[in-house]
Structure 1
Amino acid sequence: MENSKKAAVATATLSREQLIEFYRLMYLSRRTDDREIVLKRQQKIFFQVSCAGHEALLVAAGMALRPGYDWFFPYYRDRAICLTVGNTVEEQLLQAVGAAEDTASGGRQMPSHWSSTKLNIVSTSSSTATQCLHAIGCAEAGRYFSRHPEAAAKHDGDYRQFKDVKFHGDEVVYVSIGEGSTSQGEFWESLNTASNEKLPVLFVVEDNGYAISTPVEANTPGGNISHLVANFPNFHFAEIDGTDPIASYEAMVEAVAYCRSGRGPALVHGHVIRPYSHSLSDDERNYRSAAELEADALRDPIARMQMWLLREGILDADAINRLERSVDDEVQRAADHAVHAALPAVESITRHVYSEDLKPTDARFNVEPETTADTSERTMADLINACLKDEMRRDERIVVFGEDVADATRDEALRAGKLKGKGGVFKLTSGLQTEFGNDRCFNSPLAEANIMGRAIGMAVRGLKPVVEIQFFDYIWPAMHQMRNELALMRWRSNGTYSCPVVIRVPIGGYLTGGSIYHSQSGESIFTHTPGVRVVMPSNALDALGLLRTAIRCDDPVLFLEHKRLYRETFGRAAYPGPDYTIPFGKARIVQKGKDMTVLTYGAVVPRAMQAAQKIFRESGIEVELIDLRSLSPYDWETIAASVKKTNRVIIAHEDMLSWGYGAEIAARIGDELFHDLDAPVRRVAAMDTFVAYQPVLEDAILPQADDLYKAMAEMAVF
């Protein structure tokens, strides 16, 4: 009786042709898996992970959604939905062999790492659960463009080369995840924001009972993720047999309709099977019993759909055989083409690490300051705030968010003039929410990965997020998103997606009482990451000019702001106008000299200046002081010219000495400028420890002007 009801519903909503196509896509996915397995055993591809057992759930999702209209953040078992929305077998097998023709990555990603700008499939990584937050940001961007359609208009003649933004107002964002990955914090953070904001995100949990060899009961309390998420408000939930094609389709149609109506997100928890091992690098017979595998085989969705078509008289055995032979031929042709396809050229390796169209090193960013009516000197904090306001007025796509950056989330009293507002713990975003509204400046949850992951999704979709991590000391929860997603989006998608997020981060010590968790440096960890630009100004004018370049360029930028310098007398400057920019990779010669070179940046710059002035007064030694200000890229030409002139060099930085930023520059100087040196390269930096609370200890740990003076004096007599 129940089966006949399902059949009636299915035939009422899906035509005979659609039901046949449903089965064809399922079978096509399975046979593509099988062909990859053969190719792997023939050593023609190098990795294989299958979609087998998930096909019914995923074809159902694909048929319920709209290709090129809705957005997709799949994971590596999502072959079937990608085929359903328009990806081809040939495209998938070209990725498997790592061909130059691979449209997803140009041979850079493993198989089953989907990407298609045409189909709105956003480049997938191997990381688990990170894509959940990208889906949130994408949905937020879609909502933003529907509320602010003027922001989607192309900005001709602008610095930033805006891409056309596609938005419809009712699109759904699909994101999938394996049951094991629901243990990740990003999954829960994404549910929080989707629930709070009633975002049109369709979460699909593909529960095959295992996370590699870890069974569901060891991964999920109670063994059922649906029981754990059930109390999130504003959600539509469905738990289904994901091997049942008809039940899967009904559930997906209902979930998509709920999301598209604007009522909130949906989560479909599908119980599927994994008839093949986790990947061909795994042998599940080592941890799964024969009886368990046999039980799974009885639920195989391919067999279930085939039997249903036969039972309902939609296809007979001959028709099924003809369909399957046609699919086999299609897969064989695709495989034949893929294995003979040209491989990527070695010289292509460095393409798309950074933007090739709008580089922050371009001469267009070399703009002189304007003389304005207001010549009063302002602090670094003042000019950063002024720059943010300038750029938000110029470009409606800029959104600012982070912890405590808004003036007041409950803004009624603020707008009534009864509250002053916060605007960041250092007041650098003060007034942004008041002027630009809650859509463009808002507080995030206290979750750094949430900030970064959402910003990635927004940037992929066409917004320009300028986010704040409140203290560098707490950037580490966002590190996974920054290293494996933000930095790699352009390169791994072979230039088809970009992610131009600006991350503002207060950094550093010299605070008197900042202690371990408010005084960290660690910039070398990020300069070691290709794909992200890193800058660190030491004065107000540089801060404004570099920040404006960061916002107007098309690369991800880590913008490090030294807390001690925010309101220092040192480095104040007049407002240089609304278009003042400084190119990255161009150092500033703070003071010319002939006897030695000192390379530094950040809060060490004024301390080096004190030391240089003292040694000149006492000994007549002329120090050439260079503020690098751009750490990645850095200005090798200015460094080399100075070292060739002075023949002595000291590199100073606030971070620890060992494995610090200065080590790379010292190594390159030794390698390329050895014959120009009259003394060994010297480094001055913090002790190899953490920053202590007691000022006596902090002063001893961090490099001081006296430490620099001593190094200069010793260098001079070498």
Structure 2
Amino acid sequence: MATKTNPSAEVSAPEETAAPLTRQQLVAFYRLMYLSRKTDDREILLKRQQKIYFQISCAGHEALLVAAGMAMKPGYDWFFPYYRDRAICLALGNTVEDQLLQAVGADDPASGGRQMPSHWTNTRLHIVSPSSSTATQLLHGVGCAEAGVYFTKHPEAAAAGEFGDGDYRKFKNVTFHSDEVVYASVGEGSTSQGEFWEALNTASNAKLPIIFVVEDNGYAISTPVETNTPGGNISRLVANFPNFHFEEVDGTDAIASYEAMQRAVAYCRARKGPALVHGHVIRPYSHSLSDDERLYRVAEELEADALRDPISRMQVHLLQNGILTEDELHTLERDVTAEVQQAADNALLAPLPTIENIEKHVYSEALKPISSVFATAPAENLDVTERTMADLINSTLRDEMRRDSRIVIFGEDVADVSRDQHLKSGKLKGKGGVFKLTSGLQAEFGSDRVFNSPLAEANIVGRAIGMAVRGMKPVVEIQFFDYIWPAMHQMRNEMSVMRWRSNGNYSCPLVMRVPIGGYLTGGSIYHSQSGESIFAHTPGVRIVMPCNALDAAGLLRTAIRCDDPVLFLEHKRLYRETYGRAQYPGPEYAIPFGKAHTVREGKDVTIVTYGAVVPRALQAAQRLEREKGISVELIDLRSLAPYDFEAIAESVRKTNRVIVAHEDMMSWGYGAEIAARIADELFYDLDAPVRRVASMDTFVAYQPILEDAILPQPDDLFNAVAELAMF
């Protein structure tokens, strides 16, 4: 099929055609296609023998995918595949045995028995671990492409590399190439996902060197393409994206697929922009062995697909053009069958993963934020001016960006001025975030390092994942916690699990800064939410929530320098409060995660809390001391995952009474877990029931009278402590 190029693009598509494949390349091309198909067939047999537990095939996609693999460079370019991409992974150098090790659930190199089959991972080949989610990896590919472009412009950042070896001052180099290309693929059904459109949007705007491959076999499980895609053709829908090179090709035709991929790769290597290759392929097998396509596809349709089988078409091409004789073809196929058989035999004998390693790679083992390396004292001879939490967060970001050129900051409205000509003119003061916490950073570090994102939270987090995988250190901002939910998919199914699902092969240590909480007088439903318990329920993510300026500076520095993804929650009400102001502690001050702070020592009752409830609990404790002679010990957790249970236990053993307080609603809130653990592990140290103080089980209202009634107030804490002290 002919090349299709956007007529509104700034540059035209390359007109040159790829050099024809040699006889040797054609034979290798077919061998890889046949190897992929026979690997699928062997997995199907193993599944029917109950020797593996799941199977999903690449059948019908082989020609398009081998073409992609042969047009690109393993270990040079970067690859974000999806579960139909067996053939490209084989073409890049992944082995059949590696793939079958994953199928049997062995201690395989891709995931250590943690992922289902067909979740390809190989650091040497730059194949990045995918999930079972559809289209999420496209944003990772965009972020990876951005990182490659960034390293080309800023080689000093690549020289810094990612942190390692337990010392944040020790670096590893990041390899980059000025003409590298990123591959990211999906099925046609996945083009309905928002991440698909968000990825194309950013790739188009930034003219990124990324190829999106749409493998269109006509069905998303049982849903036909016309149900997913208006008009039934994604190429017609995306045709007006600027800066793109487009190809629509018969993906069962090996030669046409190779030529299309060569043109797309050449366009991206020349840094003219992104490309989209839409390949029409077939699905000769059911979606997976858990599916039966005869329930929704008529026999005539299946027969028509069989006539387009890329394996048969390539066989005919080789024979008709005298590239192979029938005997040579049969010999090749016998050799492939024997290779797959041997790989299967080896996989079935391979050692299984051990139970002892289940928790390995949930978090970084090299640079733990709970480590004493992050326990540093404030610098001497400091400016004695006390500043707000907002001020110290800004200063910490500034110092960290000066120290580490891998750090980029982006999100909605975080730049001073998006249009560089206005920034450089000096006529505008600039925004720097809705709360001004990134004010002045773009002016100092430039638009490569501080920039605005589209209004799309999944876009922000997904791109950050790709950047972090590649060795950058993105510090992104979600403008309000209330709008974090579009990013939840990227956070829960991608960011948190990248290290664990790849068995430590890949990680994405990024920082998400998120203003959170109420007590705003008019914040209402969509600017007052708390929901930290939902994220605390997600392994793989560190969560901190400082309540004062000094802690904000120390915990943010640890968040940036550690090797885990961190959700850094900043209470909006505390940004500029008089409570908690401090002088800036200097550019090396850090606080380990998981270490609570005893705000006030006492002997009668313990209050365990965090965030904006801390100053309210302190007010209640001071009043209780004055009016009732009750001595309250107040513990600020600071870090929610991990949290400091040892500090809680020590206090409870002293006071024998405890209240757990938090701003989020009472039921299923963060305090429920702590209360349950205290009751479980400290039962004999208690002289009274464990009590909780929290919000009502509702939403936060706009009217201040209602807001005050909904959120926990000092009076609520006062009354709860007074009642508990009577036991």
The bucket for the TM-score relative to the shorter chain is over 0.9
Q: Does 1:421 align with 2:427?
A: no
Q: Map Cα deviations across residues 419-471 of structure 1 (whole Å, 9 max, x no partner).
A: 10100000000010000000000000000000000000000000000000000
Q: Does 1:242 align with 2:248?
A: no
1:114 to 120, 126, 131: 120
Task: Please report the TM-score for the alignment, with normalisation by the length of structure 2.
Answer: 0.97
Native 8 Å contact 1:243 1:273 kept in 2: yes
Alpha-carbon distance in structure 1 between the residues aligned to 2:382 and 2:564: 33
Native 8 Å contact 2:665 2:697 kept in 1: yes
2:219 to 180, 198, 210: 210
Residue equivalent to 1:646: 655
Q: Does 1:66 align with 2:66?
A: no
Letter in 2 for 1:355: S
Alpha-carbon distance in structure 2 between the residues aligned to 1:569 and 1:617: 22
Change (3 A) 1:161 1:302: farther
Alpha-carbon distance in structure 1 between the residues aligned to 2:49 and 2:170: 45
Letter in 1 for 2:446: G
How far did 1:230 drift?
A: 0.4
The secondary structure found in structure 2 opposite 1:401 is: strand
How far did 1:373 drift?
A: 3.6
2:63 to 34, 56, 73: 56
Residue equivalent to 1:181: 190
The secondary structure found in structure 1 opposite 2:41 is: helix
Alpha-carbon distance in structure 2 between the residues aligned to 1:73 and 1:649: 49
Native 8 Å contact 1:372 1:577 kept in 2: no
The secondary structure found in structure 1 opposite 2:246 is: strand
Change (3 A) 1:625 1:302: same
Letter in 1 for 2:250: D
Q: Map Cα deviations across residues 351-407 of structure 1 (whole Å, 9 max, x no partner).
A: 000000000000111111123341100000000000000000000000000000000
Residue equivalent to 1:595: 604
The secondary structure found in structure 1 opposite 2:486 is: helix
Change (3 A) 1:618 1:12: closer
How far did 1:12 drift?
A: 5.1
Residue equivalent to 2:685: 676
How far did 1:20 drift?
A: 0.1
Residue equivalent to 1:561: 570
Q: Map Cα deviations across residues 8-43 of structure 1 (whole Å, 9 max, x no partner).
A: x99952111110000000000000000000000111
Size of the aligned set, in residue pairs, is 710
Q: Does 1:142 align with 2:148?
A: yes
Native 8 Å contact 2:18 2:259 kept in 1: no
The secondary structure found in structure 1 opposite 2:168 is: coil
Native 8 Å contact 1:160 1:554 kept in 2: no
Change (3 A) 1:68 1:11: closer
After TM superposition, the structure 1 stretch with the greater mean CA deviation from structure 2, 277-286 or 10-19, is: 10-19
Residue equivalent to 1:370: 379
Alpha-carbon distance in structure 1 between the residues aligned to 2:326 and 2:423: 71
Letter in 1 for 2:191: T
Alpha-carbon distance in structure 2 between the residues aligned to 1:200 and 1:575: 41
How far did 1:415 drift?
A: 2.0
2:131 to 99, 118, 125: 125
Residue equivalent to 1:5: none
Alpha-carbon distance in structure 1 between the residues aligned to 2:187 and 2:170: 37
Alpha-carbon distance in structure 2 between the residues aligned to 1:449 and 1:632: 23
How far did 1:620 drift?
A: 1.1
Q: Map Cα deviations across residues 119-162 of structure 1 (whole Å, 9 max, x no partner).
A: 00000110000001000000000000000001111479951654
Alpha-carbon distance in structure 2 between the residues aligned to 1:420 and 1:11: 51
Letter in 2 for 1:128: T
In the TM superposition, 1:268-347 aligns within 5 A as 268-347=277-356
Native 8 Å contact 1:255 1:267 kept in 2: yes
The secondary structure found in structure 2 opposite 1:670 is: helix
Alpha-carbon distance in structure 2 between the residues aligned to 1:25 and 1:309: 14
How far did 1:164 drift?
A: 2.8
Residue equivalent to 2:453: 444
How far did 1:485 drift?
A: 0.2
Task: Please report the TM-score for the alignment, with normalisation by the length of structure 1.
Answer: 0.98
Native 8 Å contact 1:209 1:215 kept in 2: yes
Native 8 Å contact 1:160 1:552 kept in 2: no
In the TM superposition, 1:448-463 aligns within 5 A as 448-463=457-472
Q: Does 1:196 align with 2:205?
A: yes
Native 8 Å contact 1:372 1:575 kept in 2: no
Q: Sequence identity of aligned pairs in percent?
A: 78
Q: Does 1:508 align with 2:517?
A: yes
How far did 1:411 drift?
A: 2.7
2:559 to 550, 559, 567: 550
The secondary structure found in structure 2 opposite 1:13 is: coil
Alpha-carbon distance in structure 2 between the residues aligned to 1:182 and 1:372: 57
Alpha-carbon distance in structure 2 between the residues aligned to 1:372 and 1:227: 65
Q: Does 1:18 align with 2:25?
A: yes
Alpha-carbon distance in structure 1 between the residues aligned to 2:359 and 2:129: 18
Native 8 Å contact 1:161 1:358 kept in 2: no
The secondary structure found in structure 1 opposite 2:664 is: strand
Residue equivalent to 1:219: 228
The secondary structure found in structure 2 opposite 1:511 is: coil
Alpha-carbon distance in structure 1 between the residues aligned to 2:664 and 2:513: 18
Alpha-carbon distance in structure 1 between the residues aligned to 2:508 and 2:171: 12
Letter in 1 for 2:512: I
The secondary structure found in structure 2 opposite 1:534 is: strand
Letter in 2 for 1:51: C
Residue equivalent to 2:13: none
How far did 1:534 drift?
A: 0.3
Alpha-carbon distance in structure 1 between the residues aligned to 2:506 and 2:277: 28
Letter in 1 for 2:667: S
How far did 1:622 drift?
A: 0.6
Alpha-carbon distance in structure 1 between the residues aligned to 2:542 and 2:474: 15
Q: Which runs of 5+ in 1 are unaligned?
A: 3-8
Residue equivalent to 2:51: 44
Alpha-carbon distance in structure 1 between the residues aligned to 2:586 and 2:71: 51
| Structure 1 residue ranges (4+ consecutive) displaced by more than 6 angstroms after TM superposition | none
Alpha-carbon distance in structure 2 between the residues aligned to 1:485 and 1:10: 38
The secondary structure found in structure 2 opposite 1:367 is: coil
Residue equivalent to 1:33: 40
Letter in 2 for 1:89: V
1:360 to 369, 373, 386: 369
Q: Map Cα deviations across residues 602-653 of structure 1 (whole Å, 9 max, x no partner).
A: 0000000000000000111110000001000000110000001100000000
Alpha-carbon distance in structure 2 between the residues aligned to 1:168 and 1:307: 39
Change (3 A) 1:442 1:454: same
Q: Which runs of 5+ in 2 are unaligned?
A: 3-15
How far did 1:236 drift?
A: 0.5
How far did 1:56 drift?
A: 0.2
Q: Does 1:430 align with 2:439?
A: yes
